[in-house]
Amino acid sequence: MHGNNDLSIFPTIESYSYMSPKRRYFLTGLLSIGGLSGCLHTNQREDERQTDSTDTTGADDDPTVLQSRLSEGEPVVTDTTNESTTPIRSEVITDSAQPDELSIAPGVSDNDRDEIRTFLEETEYTTDTVFITHSRIRSCYRYQIQSISWDETEIRYRYCRELRPPEATCQTETWDSIGLLFRIPAALSSAASLRGTRGSSPCRDSSTTYDQIDATATVEGNTTAVESPDTRRNYSGELP
Residue ranges binding another protein (CB under 8 A): 1, 139-141, 162-172, 202, 204-206, 210-221, 223-226, 229-233, 235-237, 239
Nearer to another protein, 52 or 211 (CB): 211
Nearer to another protein, 125 or 210 (CB): 210
CB of 224 to another protein, least distance (A): 6
For residue 30, give the 3-state DSSP assignment.
helix
CB of 174 to another protein, least distance (A): 9
Give the residue among 198, 78, 196, 107 at the shortest CA–CA distance from 144. Answer: 198
Nearer to another protein, 56 or 206 (CB): 206
Nearer to another protein, 27 or 168 (CB): 168
What Å distances lie between residue 49 and 57, 63, 110, 184, 230, CA to CA?
17, 10, 32, 14, 62
CB of 171 to another protein, least distance (A): 5
User: What are residue 167's phi and psi, to 5 degrees?
Assistant: -85, 0
CB of 158 to another protein, least distance (A): 18
Cα angle 205-206-209, degrees, rounded to a multiple of 5: 130
Please compute Rg for the chain using Cα positions.
Answer: 23
Contact 50, 61 (CB under 8 A): yes
Strand partners, 102: 79
Nearer to another protein, 126 or 234 (CB): 234
CB of 127 to another protein, least distance (A): 36
